[in-house]
Amino acid sequence: MTEKKLPLRATLAASVSRTAAALSRATGRGDGSVIGGRLGMMIDPDLLAHLAAGRRIALVSGTNGKTTTTRFTAAAVGVLGEVATNSFGANMPTGHTSALARAGATPYAVLEVDEHYLAQVLTATTPLVVALLNLSRDQLDRAKEVAMMAQLWRDALADHPDVHVVANADDPMVVYAAAAHAAAGTGGVTWFSAGQRWREDAHVCPACGAHIDRDGTDDGWRCATGDLVRPTPQWTVGDSAVIDPEGVSHELKLQLPGKVNVGNAATALAVAHRFGVDPAAAAPRLAEVASVAGRYAQVDRDGRNIRLLLAKNPASWLEAFDMAEQQPTLLSINARDPDGFDTSWLFDVDFAPLRGRQVLITGDRAYDLAVRLEVNEVPFTHVKTFAEAVAAVPPGRLEVIANYTAFQDIRAELDRVV
């Protein structure tokens, strides 16, 4: 696609979008993707569709892991040519518009999509592939909203029978969203197994309301009435390898930690495979991804190697425990607007994996965390500041797990020092 083929209004809108984004960046107001996209869409309401036309596109959605999976997928599809992507995590239509305008003409695009916007973005971009990772509560949302989201996804896919879906067989909510598409859609479904650590939102079958039975193995599940069962996945994971549909194992040397990220890598390779990418060619590219929007970043300070892990909802706390090594760990929790004010979710998360290591706590709501850890029988020390935490641990690794604004606070403090 070249921009010469865009309608005149779209060309103007794309240019305004880029200029506004550049101005916003130059004046220090963030990366500018939202304001740039918003202005462009005021001039041409169909700008996203115009910018998407002619590109082969993958969308990535889910409650957790979508930013990382988008980065991995863009790296994998990059085997074929230039890829436009919203790597700053601006995952609503304004962000997509800005990302495509900024990238100019590229044959490919990989876009992270907020789960609430999936239907709208499917319509605007007519993607080749959509990857559905998982659905769980985000902050205050409860299981009821999770089932509603699964239904919205299912309805959205019914309107787009031609799209190919790459979906997580381990999450009953995702399977419900994609099952009708697998049966009736012309685009088809590829199932992958990336595990499901957080199961509290998937006790009840979204199809019929019966109980979801687990068979005692890690990933096996089926609805008690049998109307929803775990599909057999074509892509699976080992400790540090992805096994493709032909049974070939692709050993990964990821810089990003944990089995969670091996699952994200499997998803990326499955999506890229639909574009014609050989997983053996793409796997080494995933090893080049070192940090995603500051997450997993490692900073050396005072002889400590500090690694930052963001945990924004119950499912991502469990994922962070999987990623963190058995090393001193600082937990920081705030309850400001972007975090949600209610910290009762702390009691939904099992902190027992932290037993046996040095645990420090801080943040606006450290006392809520203290109560939770007491109940969970995890010994801890309270520190007032991040600097105090660094001083309290021996030289070596310090794992930091923080929720959204606590993470931003710690990043700002590290940026000041480094």
CB of 209 to Zn ion, least distance (A): 7
Amino acid (1-letter code) at residue 40: G
In the bound state with Zn ion, the residue whose beta carbon lies nearer, of 176 and 345, is 176
Dig out the tokens for 221 from the structure. 């599940």
Tokens 């690694």, located at residue: 307
CA-closest candidate to residue 162, choices 128, 112, 124: 128
CA-closest candidate to residue 86, choices 123, 120, 61: 61
In the bound state with Zn ion, the residue whose beta carbon lies nearer, of 228 and 289, is 228
Strands (E), 244-293: 249-251
Cα 22–chain centre separation:
26
List residues binding Zn ion (CB under 5 A).
205, 207-208, 210, 223, 225, 227-228
CB of 137 to Zn ion, least distance (A): 20
**What SS3 class is residue 171?**
coil
In the bound state with Zn ion, the residue whose beta carbon lies nearer, of 207 and 335, is 207
CB of 174 to Zn ion, least distance (A): 15
How much of the chain is in helix, strand and coil states, percent to nearest 5?
45, 20, 40
CB of 153 to Zn ion, least distance (A): 17
In the bound state with Zn ion, the residue whose beta carbon lies nearer, of 225 and 255, is 225
Mention every residue, 6+ apart, whose C-beta is less than 8 A from residue 165.
Answer: 129, 130, 131, 132, 157, 178, 181, 182, 185, 187, 188, 189, 190
In the bound state with Zn ion, the residue whose beta carbon lies nearer, of 198 and 221, is 221
Distance CA 215, CA 100 (A): 45
In the bound state with Zn ion, the residue whose beta carbon lies nearer, of 231 and 340, is 231
CB of 204 to Zn ion, least distance (A): 9
CB of 261 to Zn ion, least distance (A): 31
